[in-house]
Amino acid sequence: MALKIFYLLSILFVVVSSEPFRFDNYSLYKVLPKSLKDVKYLQELQDAAPEFDFWDDPVPTADYINIVSKPELKKDLESFLASNEIDFVITQENIQELIDNEKKKTYTRSNIRTMEFDNYYTLEDIYAWLEDLAARFPETISIIIGGTTYEGREIKGIKISHGPGRRAVFIESGIHAREWIAPATTNFIINELVFSDDEEIKAAARDFDWYIFPVTNPDGYIWSHVGFRLWRKNRRPFGNEFGVDLNRNWNDNWLKESANLNPSSNTYAGPGPFSEIEARSLSAYITDMADKIDLYLSFHSSGQILLLPFGNTTEPLANYYDAMKIGRRAMGALAFRYGTPYTIGNIAEAIYFATGTSVDWVKERLKIPLAYCYELRDRGQYGHLLPPDQILPTSEETMDSVIEILFQAKRYGYMRGPE
């Protein structure tokens, strides 16, 4: 199995200049395990060779595993896979090309309409847009601050409210920095709630208070723009390493599954539960308004999966069966527009055992009635580098599903609307 070679070649990504790290000739693999033996070999590879960026954990339920390899290691990866008879395709030969095509347009401050959905925006642009919305619609929109970051930034969001006495929908995205489609989709949801002429969307905007935070890991998001496109964690330093996986840091079953205590890992859970100011301060914000929240949504990529609590067990805990029924209807609505198929299940059954996540925490500690986590498009072709021409369709279908969740949740007695 020649695993030794990977130890020897283990060189961590280091960014030396002020230019973003380049991924020239780095390739994206879609590996297709077909047996438990394949999964076991891939797990060994993941443990032994940290220089491969596994976007998915090799678990028995996985249809595919996305892996990024640097050019020097492609031969090694391919011979490892071939010698173990594990199927794979290279979906992107050179991911730098995808990154170049993300063409970051700048948002023009004076014109609110220039937030478009064929482009990924910087944190600065997103925050400026939110502020413009609040300035333009002071009766209904206000800026909210959900917390702060290690580097001292604000976790800025928006509240949309058409009056007192309403129940709340809470949305967070961008806790994993490189999953750019998540903030983009959240921005689209905001845009629809503010500008749509659709009666159902207008009613949704009117009937609930919306608390929306497009980027809950601002330091990491900035780093994914200016330093390292594939950055996932926050930016707190630990010796020579950086960052905690903020979606393993919440204080529910912390460190039990798919998380670890190694700061060089992409799933480093941090030195303790809520050790990270981003997760801790946002959780305090949510706690203060918990009794208002009927629905909690968290957006990630990728895999086209709708996840519900919990990640520590496949047992159907809490209101699992209702949440599944509502979720299935919502994914039916999502597929209606473009046929995009989603899988649905609790975190442990649908992807892998993973704990310390925001949705588990709000469900267990705050007893939020409905909590869902979306893994948005796609299924292994582009992964976290989803091309900008998929922002709009992804956002539209997701918005359809959010409206359907509200509708079904009402039917099942979960959403009360204005009192």
70, 153, 176, 363: residue in contact with Zn ion (rule CB under 5 A) = 176
Q: Which of residues 141-160 bind ligand NAG (CB under 6 A)?
A: none
Binding mask 205-244 for ligand NAG (x = CB under 6 A): ----------------------------------------
Annotation says 72 is catalytic: no
Binding mask 105-134 for ligand NAG (x = CB under 6 A): ------------------------------
Tell me how many residues contact Zn ion (CB under 5 A). 3
Cβ nearer to Zn ion, comparing 217 with 283: 217
Stretch that binds ligand NAG, among 138-146, 233-241, 300-308, 309-317 (CB under 6 A): 309-317
Considering 192, 375, 397, 404, which one is annotated as catalytic? 375
Question: Contact between 233 and Zn ion (CB under 5 A)?
Answer: no
Shortest Cβ 316–ligand NAG spacing (Å): 11
Shortest Cβ 210–Zn ion spacing (Å): 22
Cβ nearer to ligand NAG, comparing 203 with 317: 317
312, 340, 346, 381: residue in contact with ligand NAG (rule CB under 6 A) = 312
Task: Give the pair of three-digit tokens for residue 232.
Answer: 């996932």
Q: Which of residues 35-94 bind ligand NAG (CB under 6 A)?
A: none
CA dihedral of residues 276, 281, 282, 286 (deg, nearest 10)? 140
Which residues 6+ apart lie within 8 Å of 37 measured at CB? none
User: Counting beta carbons within 10 angstroms of the beta carbon of residue 27, is it exposed (0 to 12), middle (13 to 18) or buried (19 or more)?
Assistant: buried
Shortest Cβ 311–ligand NAG spacing (Å): 8
Task: Give the pair of three-digit tokens for residue 404.
Answer: 């359907």
Alpha carbon distance 352, 221 (integer Å): 25
- 381, 280 Cβ separation under 8 angstroms: no
Binding mask 348-367 for ligand NAG (x = CB under 6 A): ----------------x---
Alpha carbon distance 142, 131 (integer Å): 8
Cβ nearer to ligand NAG, comparing 33 with 311: 311
Stretch that binds ligand NAG, among 28-36, 101-109, 312-320, 328-336 (CB under 6 A): 312-320
For residue 211, the cross-strand partners are 159, 170
Strand order in the sheet with 65-69: 53-54, 65-69, 27-32, 87-92
1, 10, 13, 24: residue in contact with ligand NAG (rule CB under 6 A) = 24
Question: Contact between 252 and ligand NAG (CB under 6 A)?
Answer: yes
Residue 339 has a CB neighbour count (10 Å cut-off) of: 8
Task: Give the pair of three-digit tokens for residue 340.
Answer: 């995009």
3-state secondary structure of 158: strand
Question: Contact between 300 and Zn ion (CB under 5 A)?
Answer: yes
Rg of the chain over Cα atoms, rounded to whole angstroms, equals: 21
Does a cis peptide bond (omega within 30 degrees of 0) precede residue 38? no
Task: Give the pair of three-digit tokens for residue 137.
Answer: 């619609």
3-state secondary structure of 218: helix
Question: Contact between 313 and ligand NAG (CB under 6 A)?
Answer: yes
**CB-based closest residue to ligand NAG:** 24
Which residues 6+ apart lie within 8 Å of 328 measured at CB? 344
Alpha carbon distance 72, 24 (integer Å): 11
Residues that bind Zn ion (CB under 5 A): 176, 179, 300
Residues that bind ligand NAG (CB under 6 A): 24-25, 252-253, 310, 312-313, 317, 364
